[in-house]
Amino acid sequence: MKDIINKCDLYILVWVIHIVHDYWGLYGSTMSVGVLFCLYAWSLYYCYVTVTKYKMPSFLKIWTVLFVLFSIYALIRMFNPMGLSYKIGFEINSRMYLIEHWTSMLPIYPFYVFSKTGQLNKTVIKRWALVLIGVAIIQYNYGQVIAYAKIASLSEDSGFTNNQGYFIAMVLPLMFLWNEKPIIQYVGIAILMFYVLMAVKRGAIIVAFLCLFIQLLSSLKRFNKRKSVIIILAVATLCILGYNFITNLLSTNEYFAYRLENSLEGDTSGRDSLYSSLFSAFLNNSNFFQLLIGWGADGTVLLMQQQAHNDWLEVLIDLGIVGIVVFVVFWVRAFITCWRFENKELKVLFLMVIIMLFVRTFFSMSINDMYISSTVVLGYCLANSENKSSKIHHYVKTDNSIQNI
């Protein structure tokens, strides 16, 4: 059975089922908690394996430090569930901080180990990339249902933003692995970009276009002149279709036109005021220890009754100077790791995910809202970071050892 069942496929399958279960009504909240607990236990096992059995890359080490830091603060928050709710005057889920960070950060460890043992490779990721396009469409529809429910009480439908835009955008890097079959690659990109635009999530649109630019630039550098001309023609066609689509969207969707106009005028949806107020409140209301180690999990909620929508402020206020120093080192190490990749395919793949996650930190929550489409790439790239050839070596587990073939 161990030879027949690919544990990586099974692991991803369980995550996919858990992601879509709400929209499809596959199971209730009690079973949802049980499935999530099993995924955490499974992931923690591979976290232990990664730490004890492998020589981790430096980026994965600082990832682990940050993960442990978030976990400690989350557990403290859980053991004092009424403290924060009492202070702010309304109830919030004391487990959510832990759930967000574990769901976001834990999957990298199984993907790292699966890559080392050969159960996760380029072929596996390419196969799941196509599945995740379907999942992205399902999530878009789920986001529409939620958004419609929120505005159902309004007398006039003034338009809305679909918050699943980031999930859709973060599937884009996986299409890079289909670069040897440009038709599949660009059809997949076109589908994902369509839904990103329809979600009208400005941050998601920004990171999606950044990813698209990196993919196009890499594709042009990769192929000879003849194939480059074909790619340029395909991209030109895609751009023309995209331009016509956006033009039509601007004329038929008042909310999309409104959001675009606001963006061009520099509207930040009140984020600049929120950032200023949070930073001022942190400086003026913190004692020495709060400055050093922060206000604890959900500290921004305690100060301003809402999250920061900015990872840097969120980490500073929740984890203090200690936390923000670790966070800075985390991102510095991410770009250093990317720079040191000698395999060009891995370098581009890793760069796309890191750039998208990093840019998102400035106007949204990134570190606690990563998806398996991102962590599968990070785990795979880190596990193969020492491979220099254009073809990634795979690993197979023998009876006595792991051998490189």
What whole-number distance in Å separates Cα of residue 105 and Cα of residue 330?
13
Locate 201 and state its tokens: 């999530």
pLDDT of residue 29: 83
Kindly report the pTM of this predicted structure: 0.88
Q: Which two tokens stand for residue 361?
A: 């930190």
Q: Indicate whether 275 belongs to any domain.
A: yes
Give me the domain span that covers residue 351.
Answer: 7-404
Burial class (CB in 10 A: 0-12, 13-18, 19+), 403: exposed
Is 2 part of a structural domain of the chain? no
Q: Is residue 1 part of a domain?
A: no
Distance between CA atoms of 378 and 308, rounded to whole angstroms?
26
User: What is the full DSSP assignment across 188-227?
Assistant: HHHHHHHHHHHHT-HHHHHHHHHHHHHHHHHHHHHS-HHH
Confidence at residue 398, expressed as pLDDT on a 0 to 100 scale: 37
Q: Within 341-405, where are the H helices? A: 344-360, 372-383
Whether residue 12 is contained in a domain is answered as yes
In this predicted structure, what is the pLDDT of residue 221? Answer: 72
Q: Is residue 137 part of a domain?
A: yes
Does any domain span residue 84? Answer: yes
pLDDT in tens, the chain (405 residues): 455 678 999 999 999 999 999 888 888 888 999 999 999 999 999 999 999 999 999 999 999 999 999 999 999 988 875 555 555 555 677 889 999 999 999 999 999 999 999 999 999 999 999 999 999 999 999 998 887 777 665 545 556 678 899 999 999 999 999 988 888 998 999 999 999 998 888 889 999 999 999 988 887 776 656 666 666 776 677 777 776 777 776 666 666 666 666 665 555 666 788 888 899 989 998 899 999 999 999 888 888 888 888 999 999 999 999 999 999 999 999 999 999 998 999 999 999 999 999 999 998 889 999 999 999 999 999 999 876 654 554 444 433 333 333
Query: What pLDDT score does 93 carry?
Result: 77
Phi, psi torsion values for 338, nearest 5 degrees: -60, -45
C-beta separation of 78 from 95 below 8 A: yes
Please say whether the beta carbons of 318 and 174 come within 8 A.
no
Number of structural domains in the chain: 1
Which residue, chain included where needed, has tokens 């670069």? 179
Can you tell me the distance from the alpha carbon of 124 to that of 316, in angstroms, rounded to the nearest whole number? 38
